Amino acid sequence: MPRESKKAKRERAIEMCRRMGELYPAVESALNFTTPFTMVICVLLSAQTTDAAVNKVTPELFRRWPDAEAMAQADPAEVAEVIRSIGFWRTKSVHCVEASQMIVSEFGGEVPHTMEELTRLPGVGRKTANIVLNKAFGIVEGIAVDTHVYRISCRMGFSKAPTPLACEKDLLDLLPHELWAPVNEQWIHFGRDTCTAQRPKCDGCPLVDLCPSAFKADGNPKAKAKKRHAK
């Protein structure tokens, strides 16, 4: 097979984003947060843990420590007891307290809104910072690449990067800036609904004609897709 040109790959990626917009026109985060601070903590807690699991612990967490000033004074051991049902709860409890202390001591109790400042907070990497900037402040500086976005990007042939961070660079180079904002939420939902990790539902997938790695579990889904588009 001839190698795909960058122009053709970009056109395919843009078409995918268009279809994602039709499938998920008003998608919202599955995490329950009310302020930039609670958003930082929610996203920090969600690393390698389901959003549903995070939503189970945050009501009590934020009842006890509703803002940075309160959580900055918390005992990490007490925070750990509240969140112990989620993955890496010991480390995350320390990050919650230390991030809150930095927000209070260096940013006057307000969550910073630059990539450089956010990624200084303990437990906050580029992915978390991208989500907070986008959702809390309307600043689109990049694309948050989680496991779903990374998996879909590789399956679609948009990236061969060895890490999500490197994958983000490929996506930023491929997609125009105006399409960056909804990618994370839309692709997460698509990854949960259709392009799942273990058994992707390629037959009937609205992107199967765009996908170079569509699974052939049920006949030839690409051939079926071409027939549908030809009608």
Taking the CB of residue 229, how many other CB atoms lie within 10 A of it?
8
Region 103-115: what's the mean pLDDT? 97
Q: What is the pLDDT of residue 27?
A: 86
Structure tokens at 31: 């995490």
Among candidate residues 6, 7, 9, 146, the one labeled active-site is: 146
d(CA 189, CA 185): 6
Of the chain, the percentage scoring pLDDT greater than 90 comes to 87
d(CA 23, CA 165): 26
Query: Is 110 exposed, middle or buried, given 0-12, 13-18 or 19+ CB atoms closer than 10 A?
Result: exposed
Give pTM, 2 decimals.
0.87
Region 38-48: what's the mean pLDDT? 96
Q: What is the pLDDT of residue 2?
A: 75
Among candidate residues 127, 135, 170, 222, the one labeled active-site is: 127
Judged against a pLDDT cut of 70, whether residue 228 lies above it is answered with no
Q: What is the pLDDT of residue 219?
A: 45
Q: What is the mean pLDDT of the chain?
A: 92
Judged against a pLDDT cut of 70, whether residue 226 lies above it is answered with no
Residues 167-219 have pLDDT tens digits of 999 999 999 999 999 999 999 999 999 999 999 999 989 999 999 987 544 44
| Contact between 211 and 205 (Cβ < 8 Å) | yes
Rounded CA Rg of the chain: 20
Q: How many residues does the chain have?
A: 231
Domains of the chain and any CATH numbers: 6-25+145-230 (1.10.1670.10), 36-137 (1.10.340.30)
Q: Is 160 a catalytic residue?
A: no
| Contact between 40 and 99 (Cβ < 8 Å) | yes
Judged against a pLDDT cut of 70, whether residue 221 lies above it is answered with no
Judged against a pLDDT cut of 50, whether residue 231 lies above it is answered with no
Structure tokens at 46: 């969600």
Q: Is 173 a catalytic residue?
A: no
Region 68-74: what's the mean pLDDT? 98
HSE-CB of 198 using CA atoms within 13 angstroms? 0
Tell me which long-range contacts 24-31 makes (C-beta under 8 A, separation of at least 24).
24/182, 24/185, 24/186, 24/189, 24/190, 27/182, 27/185, 27/186, 27/189, 28/185, 29/131, 29/135, 29/185, 30/55, 30/188, 31/55
Q: What is the pLDDT of residue 114?
A: 97
| Contact between 100 and 68 (Cβ < 8 Å) | yes
Query: In the structure, what pLDDT confidence band is assigned to residue 22 with cuts at 50, 70 and 90?
Result: very high
Q: What is the pLDDT of residue 230?
A: 43
